[in-house]
Amino acid sequence: MSKYQSKSIFYIVFLIVLLVVVFFLLRKTEAPTENDVTQETSKSVETIIKVGNDEIKIDFPTKGQIISSGLLEVKGQARGSWYFEANAPFEIQDNNHNKIAQSYVTAQGEWMTTEFVPFVGKINFVVPEGVTEGFVVFRNDNASGEPQFDRKLEVPVRFK
């Protein structure tokens, strides 16, 4: 084998290895699974759900917040993909996940974006007798109806 052929083979092998490395570095990561969903609370008591990237931030109610029967106003922000026609459902549940009341949050700006859009929602509810804890559950408005696109965030609350 000549010196020229040896160099050619070396460059071909090097190029193949380089292409394989680039392929693995650039390939897309798999979509997150339900097990990848994490929830955390920051020092500013902002509740965040993460599914790959942050999708929704709840300003009120916060984790462990005491709420009472009557009119409750919820506030936060969600990425535009969380909404459909500028709305997304939320509900109040008891500690056994039985629905107490349901309503919608409404985007307070242009919702057809990938950025965070503030929302506000109001719900009137009555806490059943003897129920002391529960959840405010925020759901994305999944227009497709496909279960793999369902997202939710449960904020644990206490009832007064």
Q: Do 68 and 90 reside in the same domain of the chain?
A: yes
pLDDT tens, N- to C-terminus, the chain (160 residues): 677 777 778 778 777 877 777 666 666 444 444 444 333 333 333 444 444 348 999 999 999 999 999 999 999 999 999 999 999 999 999 999 999 999 999 999 999 999 999 999 999 999 999 999 999 999 999 988 899 989 999 999 999 9
Residue 76 to residue 95: CA distance in whole angstroms: 23
Q: Which helix (H) or strand (E) holds 108?
A: none
Q: Please, is 103 exposed, middle or buried when counting C-beta atoms within 10 Å of its C-beta (0-12, 13-18, 19+)?
A: middle
Q: Do 59 and 132 reside in the same domain of the chain?
A: yes
Q: What is the CATH number of the domain that holds 106?
A: 2.60.40.2550
User: Are the beta carbons of 121 and 74 closer than 8 angstroms?
Assistant: yes
Q: Do 115 and 40 reside in the same domain of the chain?
A: yes
Q: Do 19 and 97 reside in the same domain of the chain?
A: no
- Domain of 98 in residue numbering reads as 35-159
**Number of domains present in the structure of the chain:** 2
